[in-house]
Each structure stands twice: as C-alpha cells, then as structure tokens.
Structure 1
C-alpha cells in the first residue's frame, strides 16, 4: 500500500544540506548575475571574482610555503575552492554526487565525520596536487576532489559490509574504478589536465579518514574482519 504521508524526496542528513546549500547558493547568485538579473553590469564578472577569491592556486600555495606564511587567509583556500564552480553543469554534477553519496555516508557517520571527510579530502587533495605536480599551475576549482572523498567514505562502507559477509571486499572499489576509467577516456579524447590527481587524492583521503571517523573507527573494522 502506498504511503501518502511519505515525503516526496528521501530526507537527507542536515549536514549534507549544510554543505550543499552554500554551493547551490553560490551558483545561483553568479548565474543570475551573468544573466543580468542581479548585480547590474558589474554582476557579469561575479563568477570570475568568486573564482579569484575562493579557488585554490598551487603556485600561491608554493609561495606561501616558501616564505613560511601559514596565515588563515592563505590556508582557507584549501577549504573554500569546492564552493565555486566554472558553470551550472559543473555545479550540478558535483551537487548530485554529493547528495546521493552524502545521504548514504551521512546516515552512518556522525555529522562532524561527514564534514571531516568532505573538507579533509578537499584540503589533502589540494596539497597533494601542489606537492606532487610542482610544474602545474592550473588552479583547482569546484568540488570534485571533495566529493571523491565522499566516494571514498562510501567505498569504505561497502568494503566493511562485504568483508563482514565474507564476500570479495575489493568489489567495493568498482565505482571509483569506473569513474577513473571515464576520466581517462575523456582526458585522452579531449586533452584533460592533471586535476584527476587531486580527485584520486581526495578519494584515498576519504577512504583512509573513514577508518578514523566512522562509528567505532578502526576497532569496528577489525571486529568485522575477524567475524569472517
């Protein structure tokens, strides 16, 4: 029997909305400004200004490291670049992945653990991108490294569940393998850059952090594996 009192959309953990809504609001403002609906003539350049203010520049980070400047103004870019995107479609893809995987991760992890996975993955991915690719100056813009961290958290949940029932736990990595395969194909066809390094770093960070921030942490994982 159909439940007429059920909500039209599956409810999401509030922390997922707390991450998604600033991204959506940012895109709404800059898109409306680009269309001339808000901000007047100056609004056309708001997206560029947002990118300049929030995007992560590896060259700038290398400079800060050289001079030993670890002030909040520079370090915050490790966390703010997932909030601004290059286009509406760029934002849509990020938000869709965030909402889908955030629901599954957020229903198991505590709210602070979801924030740790999302923003921790973003920060580590940016640092890896900076240090592993010293000759690359292309900035990081958008939430892909962070949502790849959420994919890492989801993969961790699958990995634990498969290990608990004695199944092949490496099947949990099917999703990330598929996504990286798509990125490789598009990169070969359309000349993609090195942003995939940040995406992979984000995934690995999210997966590893999940051992620490999931309910029960590492001990729960060990217990699940011992039950095989």
Structure 2
C-alpha cells in the first residue's frame, strides 16, 4: 500500500471513529470474515498467476485469467441484455458477487487485498463479521448496478475495490460521527475518500480513463448509508440525532 494511504489511514484511526459497543479488548485480531475474503481473493489470484507463468496447468493455463474474466467479471453489455430482455440467468446474476474475486493482474489483487485487511481491521473493531459480510457484498452489488446503469464502458468490471470502498464508507461514517461528538469539523471524515478519488482521477489522466470509479463511489455510498443499521447502537444513535435536529 502506498505510504500516503497508510499515513491517511493511521491519522484517521487515531480519532477512534466508532460507536461505543461495550466490547473492548487490548488485542483486536483480524475478523475471520476478513481473513476468509482475503483468502478467497488471493487464492484465485495465485491460481491465475501460476497458470499465466506456466508453473501449473500446462500451456492451456495461460488463458485461465481470460477465461475467469469472461465467466466471473461483471459485464455492462450482459447487464444491458438482461434488462432489455427481462431475463436473468443465474450464471450472469452470480457475476454481481463473483467479480470482486477476479483481478486483471497480481498487483491489483494484492493492493485491494491489503486494503481489505487494513480497513477490515479497523471496521471489524466496531461491526460484527456478518455485518461486514453484508457491507462487502451489498457494496459489490450496488457498485455493479451503478456501473451497469450509469456507464457505457465496454470493459468488464472486476476486482475488490467497490466492496473495499464500502468498508471505507463505514470507516468514514464512524469518523464523521466521532468528529461531531468532539466538536470538530466533520468534513475531515471525507479525507480518505477524497484522496482516493483524486488519485483515481490522476491515474485516469495519465493512463487512460476507466469508468470503474463509478462502481467504487457507489460502493462507498453503500457502506456509508448502511453503517447506522449495522453497528451496535447505531440506529438508535441515528434516531436520537434526527430528533435533536
């Protein structure tokens, strides 16, 4: 992970942006759900990378990544076909939840996996494993829907960044609440997402624009919106805040 992102995460973490759940421990290991998701991402990538390098599978394994992308990535063109024809074959509906586990390259899988571990560590101190699973897959689904509805990009959507951005949305919401509690500017909570969006814009200008930022942003919004429903005491705190206002 680039040092600038690590520095931003560390700075935000120092604010302790969380609802009080009553469960405190001096040691907070990575949640099992996060480890399983990370293992799924990296297991797929290891198999595809070893095949592309000719280590396993023989000559035909060189095409495994392309086959995985064709079978498991989210395709805007296929989505348009399903909507227009009102037909939703199971093998295509599965793409909404399988595309986070397929990446275009090893570096992409590693980067998204490391971000998943980092965000999962902080978010896992507040929400339970099942709730984190809900955030991950809800962000993936909403991200794919946004990509299908609002872009005409022929490139398939793949990689774990939309659900990772969902965890960033949870983290941002907790930070936003915490800053409000201590009387500081709540806009600071959006430092991380602002920086990441700026980096994506820069990379798009340098290496060519790709519309996957739409899915990332939709994933972020999904995580942000779901947070009050998933953290302990979050919904009650939201109602109390609305009544005060």
Q: Residue in 2 aligned with 1:89?
A: 107
Instruction: For structure 1, list consecutive stretches of 5 or more residues without a partner in the other structure.
Output: 1-8
Q: Residue in 2 aligned with 1:3?
A: none
**Does the CA-based 8 Å contact 1:164-1:224 persist in structure 2?**
no
Does 1:159 find its partner at 2:176?
Answer: yes
The CA deviation at 1:97 is: 0.6
Q: Residue in 2 aligned with 1:143?
A: 160
The CA deviation at 1:217 is: 3.0
Tell me, in whole angstroms, the C-alpha distance in 1 between the residues paired with 2:99 and 2:28: 28
- Whose RCO is larger (CA < 8 A, sep 6+)? 2
The CA deviation at 1:98 is: 0.3
1:79-118 matched pairs, under 5 angstroms: 79-118=97-136
Tell me, in whole angstroms, the C-alpha distance in 2 between the residues paired with 1:194 and 1:73: 24
**Does the CA-based 8 Å contact 1:122-1:202 persist in structure 2?**
yes
Q: Residue in 2 aligned with 1:169?
A: 186
**Does the CA-based 8 Å contact 2:144-2:215 persist in structure 1?**
yes
Tell me, in whole angstroms, the C-alpha distance in 2 between the residues paired with 1:225 and 1:60: 42
Q: Residue in 2 aligned with 1:130?
A: 148
Tell me, in whole angstroms, the C-alpha distance in 2 between the residues paired with 1:216 and 1:73: 38
Instruction: For structure 2, list consecutive stretches of 5 or more residues without a partner in the other structure.
Output: 1-26
Say how many residue pairs are matched: 219
Q: CA offsets per residue over residues 79-134 of structure 1, 9 Å max, x none?
A: 1100010111001110011000011111211111101111101100110111112x
Does 1:183 find its partner at 2:232?
Answer: no
The CA deviation at 1:72 is: 2.6
2:117 counterpart SS class: helix
Tell me, in whole angstroms, the C-alpha distance in 1 between the residues paired with 2:125 and 2:47: 30
When residues 222 and 161 of structure 1 are mapped into structure 2, their CA distance, relative to the original with a 3 A threshold, is: farther
**Does the CA-based 8 Å contact 1:163-1:225 persist in structure 2?**
no
The CA deviation at 1:222 is: 4.3
